[in-house]
Amino acid sequence: MAKIKNTLTSRKQVDLKINTKVTVPGDKSISHRSVILGGIANGITEITGFLESGDCLATMYAMQSMGVEIKKNGNKYIVNGVGKHGLKAPVGSGIDCGNSGTGMRLLSGIMAAQAFDSEIFGDKSLNSRPMTRITKPLELMGANVSATKKGTAPIKFKAVEKLKSISYQSPVASAQVKSCLLLAGLYCDGDVSLSEPKLSRDHTENMLRGFGCQVTSNDLTVNMKGGQSLKATNIQVPADISSSAFFMVLACLLPDSEITFVNLCINPSRIGIIGILKLMGADIEFINQSTNAGEQIADVVVKSSDLHGIEIPHQYIASAIDEFPILFIAASLAKGQTKLTNAMELRKKESDRITAMANGMKILGVDCHELEDGIVINGGKLNGGQVDAEDDHRIAMSFLIAGQFSNGAIEVKNCENIMTSFPSFLEICNTLGLTIK
């Protein structure tokens, strides 16, 4: 797949109308988890629909560096699981997660429990993100783990024999923190219990059950008996709702248009984007609903809609946390004011997504202002201009979609990181008739 260039320009295609079906690549969150759990399971796991993005491939390479044999056969990845205690010390200086926070935090849960020393790190962006949110509870479980003085990666792990049980109240609603502790819990004596302030994604719980592990959920608390082993299974990765979000907003804003997203993951902990768009007036429908490996799947039909501003309910924030950049674009073109609060987590992503999006939207003539924990956007129109994606894939794609609705071309700098999550983004844009060069 061709590398995405650093600077791209998006220009309005006059009178564009779209009526088609779109299949976006496999879900990123599920792809990460499938190769990790498959690697420490007993037996052979076949994964169909694995997302071949930079982030997910970094996680795959990490498992391979610890002795897991993974081969591609047609459209499937074959993972020869080594069992919980079959991993080996990674070769070289350690494990490089690139730009993937999910990969780093999930892998840390496993590496903290091994009988060998190891180290995990990432690129400049990832090495600036907060990691005490996982190192602190891992220490409480008996892990010998250390981060930098700033609480960031690289993270170093010393060999341990076994971890101990934990009952932990997480200060943040984070599927990555929850997943880290559940994976570590596979290596501990006693139970693991984790409570969150809000519901976060539950892909790890679903997949652990698919691998034969007993996990129970009660409101905002997850419980798991420690020390369980995993039995290999086959996984069909559904399409990624986070990738679809860009084209959902496109379908809402384009006149006389309708896009059907095929085989989309509609896990309730992931559909905040749909809940928010519906409150804004979007016409969205689920059809052909089914379940696969504990994940709810459907074809999702999105039609042209008259969007209006809203005050975004806090209940949707955790389940839409990755989709806010494109939601900000929707808000900038909706009628009236949109207000987001209680979303401080957006400042701790690949970039400070509140500031980065506000800076870009102001350049494009949007009336908006930052709040400490959110943003206020007054809808109207978008002008052309040059914006900086700050090496954040979701910001880059959001401004490129915005170019379809601006009064002039939008030039977006620092777009290369689109490859980390959605390598076929430009290909799908071109298929739909968008002009991005």
Confidence class of residue 2 from pLDDT cuts 50, 70 and 90?
Answer: low
pLDDT band at 5 (very low <50, low <70, confident <90, very high): confident
pLDDT confidence of 199, banded at 50, 70, 90? Answer: confident
Please report the DSSP string for 77-105 in residue order.
EEEEEE-TT---PPSTT-EE-TT-HHHHH
The model's pLDDT over 97-151, given as tens digits with 9 standing for 90+, comes to 999 999 999 999 999 999 999 999 999 999 999 999 999 999 999 999 999 999 9
How many helices (H) and strands (E) in the chain?
12, 23
- Provide the pairing of β-strand 144-146 with 163-169: unpaired
Domains and CATH numbers, the chain: 8-26+238-436 (3.65.10.10), 28-236 (3.65.10.10)
**Distance in angstroms (rounded) separating the CA atoms of residues 319 and 232:** 29
- 354 pLDDT band (50/70/90 cuts)? very high
Distance between CA atoms of residues 270 and 318, nearest Å: 8
pLDDT band for position 291 (50/70/90)?
A: confident
CB 151 within 8 A of CB 126: no
**Rounded CA separation 121/256 (Å):** 47
pLDDT in tens, 140-158: 999 999 999 999 999 999 9
Q: Which of 299, 322, 388, 392 is catalytic?
A: 322
Cβ(151)–Cβ(130) below 8 Å: yes
- Average per-residue pLDDT for the chain: 96
Q: What is the mean pLDDT of residues 230-246?
A: 96
Average pLDDT over residues 227-248: 96
**Which pLDDT belongs to residue 1?**
53
Confidence at residue 292, expressed as pLDDT on a 0 to 100 scale: 77
Q: Is 373 a catalytic residue?
A: no
Share of the chain above pLDDT 90, in %: 95
Q: What are 112's two structure tokens? A: 């903290």
Q: Indicate the SS3 state at residue 406.
A: strand
Provide the H-helix boundaries in 4-53. Answer: 28-40
3-class DSSP assignment, residue 348: helix
The letter for the amino acid at 115 is A
